[in-house]
Structure 1
Amino acid sequence: MSSRRMTTIAGSLVAASFSTVMILSATASADDEGPGSSKGGKAVDEAPAGVKLTTLLPEEISVDNGSQETTMTATVKNEGTEDSGKIRLWVVGFDGMTVKNVQGCSPIAEGDLPEGSNSGYTCPLDNLAAGDSKSYDVAATYDLNKTGKICLPVQNSDGSKTFWQQGPVPFGTTNPSPDAPATPLLLGTDNTPVAPGGDDELPKTGPGRDVLPLGAAGAALITVGAAGLWWSQLRPRQRES
């Protein structure tokens, strides 16, 4: 077999392998970060020296058109040179996206949710070593007649500082497929409802978007370019046991 043909076959196998990984990313094991994107993410409060925390979400998810169910993997990473110490990851749903479960994490009490969100889970970590990552399997539902967004803040253990926040970033499609078994949604895309009767004025991302209130704490909000909305600080929460 010629070297050119061998190269072509090898390239095809690599492409097929990559596609398989993308499909399976939503069910990745807890410590397998899998492919993902930090789109819509930004550092907020200054992290401890040598600590650099970020998050990843899949570039694409798929929503079952019958059950409205979807799954994904949310990953927190420490790209710094020092251990993180105690931190927590929040996984919070907005609008059409409702977070139903995050493996190994606890539901956030309704009164503690950021204003405007409909659901959320808190995932405490005693430590994230330098260069390590931790991934969580997320189960959610998505009402395709609405926009849907998700937010991943990474905070210190009591929530008084937010070292990184991804979102609220939308998943959506501009080409809905109501007659198909499932609808693929892309990260960073505003959703177009699959049928008439959705919101007349859909929320938009980007510089012109209205900021979301954060509730009783009255924390300040800022809007940062095309990356979307950032919370400078979520409400301090009671220290986790």
Structure 2
Amino acid sequence: MCKTCSRHRKFLSGCLDGRGPAPEPQSPPLGPRPVYVPPQRPSIASDPRRSRPPSRTSTTSSVDSTATVNSAHSLTSLARRISRELYPNEAQLASLETWAENIDVYIPRGRPWAPEVVAQYEEYKRLGEICKKDGKAFFSQWRRTEKNTTVEEHLERAELALRAAESAYKAGKARLDFLLTYQNAYSDKKSVDTHIKEIRTELKKARDRVHDVRINHENLFIAHGRKANPDVFR
């Protein structure tokens, strides 16, 4: 019995004829942990059994790119901003309509207009022309791509709708501000009524185009939502 076994008053495992417990064998040093690489799932687009007919757009376009997702999210955020800004202007327009309906005798301001009146008049006319141009661009694209609309065309249509909404809002607001500031700048009551009608038309155009942005955003999610991050569409 070795000294260690004698001290413990029993035979210990590894006692080698009085030489004490044998040292425990050392484990070999561990090498670097192998990196697990998960198997790649086959692409649906590359699977001939599940491939779809080619669309009218280029096959190199990426419908699930970050740029596409961010564009859709940004467009709807801007559309909500325009929608919020429309509310107070629509309320002011309602007040002007009530004012115009209760006019007994309209007393026009004499001509010629002061330079600042002319400048504001020319500005709302200029914005009105931009409103018409942007509206035509939206409807032209919509008629051209109405059937079998692709994701790129939905985004383009939403962008054109947003541009038309913003230009219509600016044109309507400019007309509204002019009438609020210069209520006696027109030649007669009929001209005032025509001006109010134009304000109503342009603000309605802005509201309609905001709706078109949202519709195309929803269509983009329904048709292509599985190919992009769904959180941005909520």
Measured against the shorter chain, the TM-score band is: under 0.3
Q: Which has the higher helix share?
A: 2
Which protein shows a greater Rg?
A: 2
Q: Tell me the TM-score normalised to structure 2 length.
A: 0.21
Q: Which has the higher strand share?
A: 1
Q: Tell me the TM-score normalised to structure 1 length.
A: 0.21
Structure having greater relative contact order (Cα 8 Å, sep ≥ 6): 2
